[in-house]
């Protein structure tokens, strides 16, 4: 009985890692598309997105089955409930990566090379997502806390980008649409950072059993 349960938990763990990896890939692809203006990459992000959605449904089903059939307690229960919450955040990351890719397709090949801040922000956000998945894989609470601390860096980038966009508008108001797209993209990155933070918080919960103090 326990053996079967352990096997199912093992599968759950594996699926979450896979989904996390897919999110990492989605956001990495989206920012690469953004930097290079490569539409091919942008379309691949979309294809990736449906995979992530499917994965979310699969994991959700598995969690429900585990909860109903095995009635887990203690650490197992925390892992499963944290998994249920985490996949929602992961799915949102996937969606936002798709949104970024979609904006890239509207940019008509204009790239972000001249906007260093967004590139740095994207790199920081990707690192956050990777670290949050790593924290889950290694059940590393310290790493999770580091991810949470990094969210401030990403938030800082957002406000910096916002003010630099204001400058661009003040200097040259004719480029309004492009500038708004930039704002949207940086907002998406900022949201992705928040979701990575959520994942890190769920990792902390599933390991320690307590929520991080807000």
Partner 1 sequence: MTSKIFKSILSVAVAVLVASLIIITGVLYQYFSNVQEARLKDELNLVASATEQLGGSYLEGLKSSRYRLTWVDSDGTVIYDSHADVAVMENHADREEIQEALVSGTGSSIRQSSTLMQQTIYEAVRLKDGSVLRISVGHATALFLVRGMLQPIGIVLIIAIILSAWLAHRMAKRVVEPLNGLNLEEPLENDVYDELSPLLHRIHAQHLQIKRQMRMLQHKQDEFNQITDNMKEALVLLDNAGRIISINPAARTLFNTGVDCIGEDFLNSERKKDMRMALKEAEECGHANFRMKKNGKEYQFDLSRIDSEGITHGMVILAFDITEQVNAERNRREFTANVSHELKTPLQSIIGSAELMENGIVRPEDVPQFVKRIHKDASGLVTLIDDIIRLSELDEGMEMLYEDVSLRSLAEEVRETLTDAAEHKNVSLEINGDTGTIKGVRRLLYEVIYNLCDNAIKYNNPGGRVKVLIEQKPESVTLCVEDTGIGISPEHHDKVFERFYRVDKSHSKQSGGTGLGLSIVKHAVQYHYGKITMESERNKGTKISVVFDV
> What is the separation, in whole angstroms, between the first and last Cα of the chain?
39
Q: Does the protein bind partner 1 through residue 45 (CB under 8 A)?
A: no
Residue 61 sits at φ, ψ, to 5 deg, of -60, -45
Q: Does the protein bind partner 1 through residue 127 (CB under 8 A)?
A: no
32 C-beta neighbours (distance < 10 Å), count: 19
Let me know: does 185 contact 162? Beta carbons within 8 Å: no
User: In angstroms, what is the minimal distance from the CB of 73 to partner 1?
Assistant: 23
Q: Give the pair of three-digit tokens for residue 49.
A: 């997105």
Chain centroid offset of residue 146 CA: 16
Which residue lies nearer to partner 1 by CB, 16 or 107? 16
Q: Does the protein bind partner 1 through residue 155 (CB under 8 A)?
A: no
The CA distance from 213 to 166, in Å, is: 35
Q: Does the protein bind partner 1 through residue 67 (CB under 8 A)?
A: no
Which residue lies nearer to partner 1 by CB, 17 or 39? 17
Dihedral (CA of 183, 184, 187, 193) sign = negative
Which of 69, 138, 177, 209 forms a contact with partner 1 (CB under 8 A)? 138
The CA distance from 71 to 138, in Å, is: 25
Let me know: does 26 contact 98? Beta carbons within 8 Å: yes
Q: Does the protein bind partner 1 through residue 17 (CB under 8 A)?
A: yes
Which of 4, 10, 57, 180 forms a contact with partner 1 (CB under 8 A)? 10
Which residue lies nearer to partner 1 by CB, 48 or 198? 48
Which residue lies nearer to partner 1 by CB, 57 or 138? 138
User: In angstroms, what is the minimal distance from the CB of 21 to partner 1?
Assistant: 4
Q: Does the protein bind partner 1 through residue 22 (CB under 8 A)?
A: yes
Number of H helices, E strands in the chain: 6, 0
Which of 4, 21, 53, 172 forms a contact with partner 1 (CB under 8 A)? 21
Positions in the binding site for partner 1 (CB under 8 A): 7, 10, 13-14, 17-18, 20-22, 25, 133, 137-138
């Amino acid at each position: 009985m326990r053996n079967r349960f352990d096997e199912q938990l093992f599968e759950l763990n594996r699926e979450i890692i896979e989904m996390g990896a897919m999110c990492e890939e989605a956001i990495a692809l989206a920012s690469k598309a953004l930097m290079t203006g490569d539409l091919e990459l942008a379309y691949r992000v979309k294809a990736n997105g449906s995979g992530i959605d499917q994965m979310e449904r699969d994991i959700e089903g598995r969690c429900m089955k585990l909860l109903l059939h095995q009635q887990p307690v203690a650490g197992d229960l925390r892992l499963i409930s944290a998994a249920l919450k985490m996949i929602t955040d992961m799915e949102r990351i996937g969606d936002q990566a798709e949104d970024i890719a979609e904006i890239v397709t509207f940019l008509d090949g204009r790239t972000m090379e001249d906007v260093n801040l967004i590139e740095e922000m994207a790199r920081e956000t990707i690192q956050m997502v990777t670290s949050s998945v790593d924290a889950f894989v290694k059940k590393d609470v310290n790493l999770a806390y580091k991810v949470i601390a990094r969210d401030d860096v990403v938030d800082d980038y957002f406000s910096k980008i916002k003010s630099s966009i204001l400058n661009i508008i003040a200097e040259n108001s004719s480029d309004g649409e492009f500038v708004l797209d930039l704002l949207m993209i940086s907002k998406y990155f900022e949201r992705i950072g928040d979701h990575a933070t959520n994942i890190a918080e769920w990792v902390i919960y599933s390991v320690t059993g307590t929520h991080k103090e807000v």
